[in-house]
Every structure is written in C-alpha cells, then in structure tokens.
Structure 1
Amino acid sequence: MTMPISRSAPDILCIGSVLWDIIGRSTSEMQCGSDMPGRITRLPGGVAMNIAMTLARFGMSPAVLSSIGRDAEGEELVTACGHLGLDTGYLYRSEDLPTDRYMAVEGANGLIAAIADAHSLEAAGDKILRPLVAGPLGTIETPYSGLIALDGNLKLALLDEIATHPAFAKADLRVAPASPGKAERLRPFLLHRRGTLYVNLEEAGLLCQDVFSDSAVAAKALLARGAARVLVTDGGRSATEADESGHRTQVPPRVTVARVTGAGDTFMAAHIAAEARGEDRDHALASALRAAATYVSGEPPL
C-alpha cells in the first residue's frame, strides 16, 4: 500500500481524476486537420490532480482520492504526486485497471480537440470513497467535516450518491465538471441543493438547457434551478460568484494566452485557497481571477 507523504492530516480532499496529461501545443493557429510543429509534453493531470497541485502551491495540504493502476505509468504518477506535495495514502490502487490518460491539442487560438480516457476511474466506482465511508477519514456515524474538491469524471450514479450520502453530510463540497461534455453529471447537486459549483458559461448552459449572454445571467439561472452557490467563468470576459445572499461579478486581468488546459482547475483551486486563508468573497474572487490569468499567460499561478 502507498503510504501518505506525511503524518499530518490533509486539510482538503481532492476526489476524481488523477492521470497523465499528454498535451500537444503549437504557437500557430490550428483548425481541424492542421499538421503543425510544436511541443508535446506529458505531465501529471486530471481535474482533481490539477486542483490538488495548485492547492499545494498555495500552501495547503491536499490528499487525492482516485484510482491509479499498478502499471508502470501508475507507479511513475504516484511518485510524481509525492514530489508535488500530495498525500497519496488514500488512493485506490488496482491490479487490473490501467492508469488513466488525457490527450489534448492546443493552438494559438485555444483548445482544438481533447480526449479524456478516464475509464478506470469510472470502473473503480465507489471504491475510491472507502476512506470516507469506512475510515480513516470518516464514517457514516462520524462524517468528514472538511473541504472536498470533487470533479465530474465520476459516474452520475456515484455523484448522486455523494450528494445524498450521510458520510458527506458535513463536508464543504466544491464541485466542478470534468468538461462541458460531462457538465450534466452535476445535476444531483442542483436537485439536492448541495455544494459550491464551479462551471464555465457553456457548462452552465448545459445544466440549465439554455444559452446565456454572460456569467451573471448564468449564475442567477443556476440558483433558480436549485444550486446552493455557484461560480461561473466566461473566459477573459467575466466571472460571477453567487448564492441566495447576493452576487458579485468581476473582470479578469488581460493577458496574452499561452495555454488553456487546466485554467478552470487553477481558478477553482485558487478560490478555495483564498477562502481558506480567510479572504472575503470579493477578495477571494479577485485572487482566483489573478491566479487563472497568470496561469493562462504561461507563468506559475503564484
């Protein structure tokens, strides 16, 4: 069994995809069928992983709950997690399931195409939640009461279970879809009015089955659909945080875009870290937008 990297308890749990990101980037604009020179990198990735890495850079102590295979790629990934300051002691390690991967192509004009191969995470199902249901992190009788960052790569049935399971009743759930294609998996959190949802404008539209002109309109629509609290981003145009007490909209700093994959995860992690530091809602939103803008520009988000 992989042991935690430290004896201290994690101050946030990141549940979802932990995999290898294989990203091809070109400095030229690209279209369907383009064949361009560029760079191809392989880095630890996945929504839960990206959030955890950024949280660690902001001084938090995240643990990852996911499925990683016992293949060579899995061993490399667990080692990489440890080097990045992540607690891997609660991972589900399967002998039969391979380590998941994500592949994307980016041009100067943004994301061209991507494929997420998270089948092993889906196949593992509720096995990744055992530390929260049967200890040591929590049980049904003594539920975990800290922060949880949750991504939508999990199956809809499992997300619905998390939204209603007594082991999660006291947790501060922060939830994001893995991609627009999986945004509708977050419907249980609207239905049961649970958690804080982090979505972009397209994902908000899919959840509400509508098209929105800006982040403020989308945020209000999500609240009307049952969301307890939302943060809606709209690229470089605006971002809105809202709950029943009110809403606030801010415009991110202008930067030259060097990368886009992982920007939403960086925004979410930076916002969680800002609130964990005690920042009020206006300052936390501003901190998250600055971190995301810095990331998109190609610099580390600190």
Structure 2
Amino acid sequence: MSARPDILCIGSVLWDVIGRSDLPMVAGNDKPGRITRLPGGVALNIAMTLRRFDLTPALISVVGDDPEGRDLMSACGRMGLMTQHMLVDPDLPTDRYMAIEAQGNLIAAIADAHSLEAAGACILVPLWDGRLGAPEAPWSGPVAVDGNLTEDLLAEIAESPVFAASDLRLAPASPGKAERLRPLIGHPRATLYVNLEEAGLLTGTVHAGAQAAAEALVAAGAHRALVTEGGDAAACADDAGCRLCTPPRIEARRVTGAGDTFMAAHIAAELRGASREDALNQAVLAAAAYVAGEDHG
C-alpha cells in the first residue's frame, strides 16, 4: 500500500447493523431474517469500494476509544484502508447505523452519527498540519465528503484554503441530510452524487426523472451532478450537457450502500482515465451488481 493515499474519504465510519428478510414487511411487522454487523458509514462504504478497484483511500473521521472503535479500526486496516489519520476520541462512543430491509427494499433506518458531529473540524487536522496538506500546500487530489458532517463544517470546507485545490466529490448520506450540502452546490470543483429525492430537496422542485434533476442542479449552480433514479436511470450533467444511462434489470437483494458503491465506482473509473460516458456506465453496472448481491461485498 502506498504511503500517500489516492483519495481522502471524509465522513461517517461506523458499524452497520442491518436486518434483512426475504419476506414482505410493513411498519410494526416482526419477521424472520438475518442480522449482520459490518463496517459501514458512507465514507467507509466509498473507501471499501475504492479499495476493490485497487485504489488506496485514507479515512478521515472519528471513532471512540472503545471496543467497538478498536474493532472497527482493525477491520479497516485488514481491508487495506489507511487509518492513521483517523481521530480516536476517548470521550466519544463509536457511531452506529441500524436498518431493516425486506425483499431488497429499505423499511426503516436510523443513523447515529452524533460522535462525528461532535468531533467537528477536529477530524480535519491532518489537512492543516502537514500530514496530508496545509493552507500553503493544500491537498490536490480527490476528496469524497459525505453529508453526515454538520452543515457548519460543510460550509467551512467550501471556503477552507486546505481544500482550495481538491477535486471534491459530495454525497448527502440520506434525503434527511441532503440540504446540508447547499453551501457546496456552487463550488467550482465539486461533483454532486444524489438520488432523485435528494436532488428535489436541493433544488426545491419535484423532478420527472434523473435527467431533469441533474440538469436542474447544474442550472442551480452545481459544477457537475450525478443523479440516480433507482433501477430506472442514472444521469450525469454539467455545462457540456447531460448523459443518461439505463441500469440492467436485476432482482434486488439489498439496498444499503448502493449509492456509495455507485459513487466510488464512478470516481475509480474517472481516476483510471475513463470518459464521462464510460465512467457513468461503469458506475451503474457496479451499483447493479451490488444490489443484486453479485460482488460478495
């Protein structure tokens, strides 16, 4: 593994606790299924997928100095992810995410990222103190940032000199946090990765489809926007126009992490030199394989 990371992944690094059932479910149901605990969080999901594409990501986040945090750091290290720039805080518990899925659909989820929010700008110290960058020599590579950061911290990133040369890739984390990304919409080097609902929240409009939503985000000032519409379409828009891709038809077996896989696959394809059209196609295929359970991730 190289001493310098290929990309920084800033945001949630936590344990995913996910219950999945093959039976239909609605609120209040109690059904048999399987419960797993896996390393997760948007930033970590992106990093894990990037590693599968032979890239070396560095995680920028926080864990507690507790058994859960130590186990999570060890798991990340075994996967080949750089963890030396992570903040380990003895006063904060390691964050968690809990979800229920049935027949490939998300029934409900709760994201407990309170420690990440409490740590705030402290997680960014390695970009200021020379380890990864400094105001006079900012990090010049790609940076994946997720919306589990507070709106204040995202606004700080938008103006910070240590991100002045960065290729910013932004993920909202969930519809409930999409509007946190508003301070970065007009950033001249930022690419947005959102689903159709999140695009609507950012623009204040209900869009007919992925293409309309991506074009609306660019019209609102976004440098570039990628919008996914479940299994129906994915679009990438910028000043040069809009590209549309239709995913293959699959049987959905899981959904948590699909958007992170799409984003990571797109970044990896572009870092390998793929054209914008090919990068979009590769991202769509990677996300479809993930949802179908074909990548064994």
- TM tier, shorter chain? over 0.9
Q: Is the 8 A contact 2:104 2:253 kept in 1?
A: no
> What amino acid is the match of 1:153?
N
Instruction: Show the 5 A alignment for 1:212-291.
Output: 212-291=207-286
| Corresponding position of 1:3 | none
Structure 2 counterpart of 1:169, from 156, 164, 168: 164
Give the one of 139, 142, 146 matched to 1:144: 139
Is 2:96 aligned against 1:121? no
Aligned twin of 1:85: 80
Aligned match of 1:186 = 181
Q: Distance in 2 between matches of 1:121 and 1:177?
A: 15
Question: Structure 1: any 5+ residue segments left out of the alignment?
Answer: 1-5
Unaligned stretches of 5+ residues in structure 2: none
Q: Distance in 1 between matches of 2:187 and 2:71?
A: 38
**In the alignment, which of 194, 203, 210 is matched to residue 198 of structure 2?**
203
What's the CA shift string for 1:254-298, capped at 9, x where partnerless? 110000000000000000000111110111111000000000001
Q: Secondary structure at the match of 1:44?
A: strand
The 8 Å contact of residues 67 and 91 in structure 1, kept in 2 or not, is answered as: yes
1:178, CA displacement in angstroms?
1.0
Matched residue SS, 2:84? coil
The number of residues matched between the two structures is 297
Match of 2:90 in 1: 95
3-state SS in 1 of match to 2:185: helix
1:141–1:115 Cα change, 3 Å: same
**Of 276, 287, 296, which residue of structure 1 is paired with 2:291?**
296
**SS in structure 2 opposite 1:22?**
strand
**After superposition, what is the alpha-carbon deviation per residue over 1:70-97, rounded to whole angstroms, capped at 9, x for unaligned?**
1000000000001111000000110100
In the aligned structure 2, how far is the partner of 1:51 from the partner of 1:148? 11
- Give SS of 1:113's match: strand
- What is the identity, as a one-letter code, of the residue corresponding to 2:171? A
- Residue number in structure 1 paired with 2:126: 131
Question: How far off its partner does 1:45 sit?
Answer: 0.1
TM-score (norm: length of structure 1) = 0.96
- Contact 2:167–2:189 under 8 Å retained in 1: no
Question: Residue 17 in 1 paired to residue 12 in 2?
Answer: yes
1:27 to 22, 27, 30: 22
Distance verdict in 2 for CA 1:109–1:33, change over 3 Å: farther
Partner of 1:39: 34
Alpha-carbon distance in structure 1 between the residues aligned to 2:3 and 2:231: 38
Distance 1:7 1:61, change over 3 A: closer
Is the partner of 2:262 in helix, strand or coil? helix
Percent of aligned pairs sharing the same letter: 62
SS of aligned partner of 1:242: strand
Shift in Å, 1:186 = 0.6
Please tell me whether residue 73 in structure 1 is matched to residue 63 in structure 2. no
Give the distance between the partners of 1:277 and 1:49, measured in 2 at CA: 21
Mark the CA change 1:66 to 1:227 in structure 2 (over 3 Å): closer, same or farther: same
Q: Which SS does the other structure have where 1:59 is aligned?
A: coil
**Which AA in structure 1 matches 2:166?**
A
Which residue does 2:151 correspond to in 1?
156
Tell me how far 1:193 sits from its aligned partner.
4.2
Could you list the structure 1 runs, at least 4 aligned residues long, displaced by more than 2 angstroms after superposition: 191-194
Q: CA deviation at 1:40?
A: 0.2
Query: Aligned-pair distance for 1:253?
Result: 1.1
Shift of 1:102: 0.1
Give 1:191 deviation, angstroms.
Answer: 3.9
Counterparts of 1:54 and 1:15 in 2: how far apart (Å)? 15
Distance 1:71 1:234 in 2: 39
Instruction: Give the partner amino acid of 2:276.
Output: R
- Contact kept? 2:196, 2:228, Cα under 8 Å: yes
Moved more, 105-114 or 69-78: 105-114
Please report the RMSD computed on the Cα atoms of aligned residues, expressed in angstroms: 1.1
* 8 Å CA contact retained: 2:2, 2:56: no
Report the alpha carbon displacement of residue 189 of structure 1 after superposing the two structures with TM. Answer: 1.2
